[in-house]
Structure formats: C-alpha cells, structure tokens
C-alpha cells in the first residue's frame, strides 16, 4: 500500500454476514427479534430484583448488574447493524467505530469480571456460610462492582487509544457486523506489532485472572459440596450456583470458540457468525437460564406480574368511584 493512500478515513464499511439482498430482511428480522428478547428479558430480571425485597441480597445485586451490562453489551452492536440493513448502508464513521469499539470492550470486560465476582459470592456462601453476611456486606459488594467498572474502563480506554495511533487506508472494509478490535487493527496500513502485544498481554491478564478465580472458586465449592453428607443438602448447595455455572460455561465457551476458530480459519464470515454467539445469543439466553433454573427468581417474576395485573384490575374501579 502506498504511503499516500494512508489516512484517517471518514467512514468504515461493515460488511456484515452476507451481501445477498434477499437475505437482508431475514437477517434484520432475526437480529431484531433477538435484540428485543434480550432487552425485555434482562430488564424483567432487573425489575423483578428491584421490586422484591427477598432478592435484595449480594447474589441478586450482582445478577442485576450483569443483566444491565448485557443490555448495554448488545446495544453497542445490534442497533447499528439494524440501521445499516434498513438504510441499505454499510457505513460507520471513524469516530463511531472507535466509540463502538470502546463500549464493546468495556461491556465485554464487565461481563468477564462480574461472572468472576458472582463465582466468589457463591464460594463464600457455600464454603463460609457463617461469615457470609459479614464478608459480603453491602459496602463490599458495591466496591467490587466499582472496581470492575474502573478496570474495564481503563482497559477499554487503553485499547481505543492504541487504535487511534494507527493509520488506515482510504477505503477500509471490515468483514464483521461491528467494529471488532482484532479486525480493525489487522486492517490498518501502519505497523500493528505494539497493538498485537498489548491485545494479547491484556487478554491473558484480564481474561486469565477472572477465569482462574472462577476455577478456584468452583474447585472449593465442589470440595465443600462433596463433604455434605445428605443428598438433599448436596442438591440444595449445587442448585444455588447451577445457573451461574451455566452462564459461565456459555460465555467462555462461545468466546474461546470464536477466537480459536478465527486463529485456525481465515473465513471472516464464519468468524462473524461465530461472534454472534457471545455478542447476541448469550445475553439473550442469560435471563432464561436464571429464571428457569431459579425458584426465587420464578416467584419474584410471578409476584411482579401478579402485582401489575392486580393494579390494572383495580384501576378501572378507582376511576368509576366518585
């Protein structure tokens, strides 16, 4: 590439999943449906937790934060893709791409850290039940969430600043449905060695440490559950962390699957399709996992809907009364 063709372009092009015009309505409908389900499901989890005093515990405090992050996580990528399909445009501005990348990295990091924090919460609850209320006090829980936000924001800012130092060709086509960090960096016209080093070092640190914490927590949890004599006690202890373990497996398996597959194959469209699993499908499934496998959440949702149905039934009567 000639040096004269290197500049900061005003627009990037997001190629998406397919350039076939006949498939665009199907892709639009599929992603719109998944996005609406994700937003509605996660907001219901948040409202149920806020409205039920029985769920004002550390575990559900972290779950409400995870649901909020999942809504924001999906909202960084899907709406822009839907707008592009609707307007038959693939363009995203340079500033918009950097902004999208910043928030995508931010919310990915928050998902990662919150899952580790929730694993620690289950570890304390099962392995140190007598000290649970002392250790997981409200102030400490808020501090944990704030630390996850600070670390994720600093990481996201670092990666965004590293991309800003790169030069790009006049016409840049990104074979993805959003501005994914690796795709943008590897399509730069300038040297990306320092960016690659930062990406992989930070990925090992910020990805490996939370995952190691989750493995450690669950190794101790399994040991504690095995020490319980009664089968009913073992089932009760395991059921308290079954939903979280399911979400952890879903999130990390899809993330690792995407990046291992992208390292093996050069098919960028396959990578974009695989990325849909952890960017769209996982946030959509999380509310179902926590509501279907959690009796407390089921009861909270039933009370939430029951309360609103009663309010609607009473409201006409109040209007008729003098």
- Mean pLDDT computed over 183-200: 89
pTM for this structure?
0.88
Which structural domain range is residue 257 located in?
Answer: 3-291
**Number of domains the chain is built from:** 1
Assign 234 a pLDDT band (cuts: 50, 70, 90): confident
Residue 299 belongs to a domain: no
Residue 298 belongs to a domain: no
Find the CATH number of the domain harbouring 10. Answer: 1.20.1070.10
Residue 70 belongs to a domain: yes
Residue 316 belongs to a domain: no
d(CA 252, CA 247): 9
pLDDT over threshold 80, residue 322 = no
Residue 64 belongs to a domain: yes
pLDDT over threshold 90, residue 291 = no
Q: Tell me what pLDDT residue 59 has.
A: 92
Q: Is the CB of residue 198 less than 8 Å from the CB of residue 159?
A: yes
Q: Tell me what pLDDT residue 264 has.
A: 60
Assign 183 a pLDDT band (cuts: 50, 70, 90): confident
Residue 63 belongs to a domain: yes
Residue 116 belongs to a domain: yes
Highest mean pLDDT among 41-55, 134-148, 170-184: 134-148
pLDDT over threshold 70, residue 293 = no
Q: Tell me what pLDDT residue 168 has.
A: 84
Q: Tell me what pLDDT residue 267 has.
A: 56
- Mean pLDDT computed over 280-294: 84
The region of weakest confidence among 30-34, 181-185, 268-272 is 268-272
């Amino acid at each position: 590439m000639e040096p004269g063709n290197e500049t900061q372009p005003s627009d990037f092009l997001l190629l998406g999943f397919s350039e076939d015009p006949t498939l665009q309505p199907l892709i639009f409908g599929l992603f719109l449906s998944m996005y609406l389900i994700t937003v509605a499901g996660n907001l219901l989890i948040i409202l149920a937790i806020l409205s039920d005093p029985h769920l004002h515990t550390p575990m559900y405090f972290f779950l409400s934060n995870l649901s909020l992050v999942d809504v924001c996580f999906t909202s960084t990528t899907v709406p822009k893709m839907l707008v592009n399909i609707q307007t038959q445009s693939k363009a995203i501005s340079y500033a918009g791409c950097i902004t999208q990348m910043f928030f995508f990295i931010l919310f990915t990091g928050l998902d990662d850290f919150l899952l580790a924090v929730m694993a620690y919460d289950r570890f304390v609850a099962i392995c140190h039940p007598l000290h649970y209320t002392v250790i997981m006090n409200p102030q400490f829980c808020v501090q944990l969430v704030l630390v996850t936000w600070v670390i994720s924001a600093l990481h996201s800012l670092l990666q965004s600043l590293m991309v800003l130092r790169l030069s790009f060709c006049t016409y840049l086509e990104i074979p993805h449905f959003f501005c994914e960090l690796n795709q943008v960096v590897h399509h730069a016209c300038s040297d990306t060695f320092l960016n690659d080093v930062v990406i992989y070092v930070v990925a090992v640190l910020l990805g490996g440490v939370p995952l190691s914490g989750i493995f450690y927590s669950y190794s101790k949890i399994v040991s504690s559950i095995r020490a319980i004599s009664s089968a009913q006690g073992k089932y009760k202890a395991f059921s308290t962390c079954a939903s979280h373990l399911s979400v952890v497996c879903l999130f990390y398996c899809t993330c690792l699957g995407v990046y291992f597959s992208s390292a093996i194959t050069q098919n960028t469209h396959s990578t974009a399709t695989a990325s849909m699993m952890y960017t769209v499908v996982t946030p959509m499934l999380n509310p179902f996992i926590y509501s279907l496998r959690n009796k407390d959440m089921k009861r909270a949702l039933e009370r939430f809907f029951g309360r609103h149905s009663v309010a609607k039934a009473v409201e006409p009567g109040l209007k008729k009364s003098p």
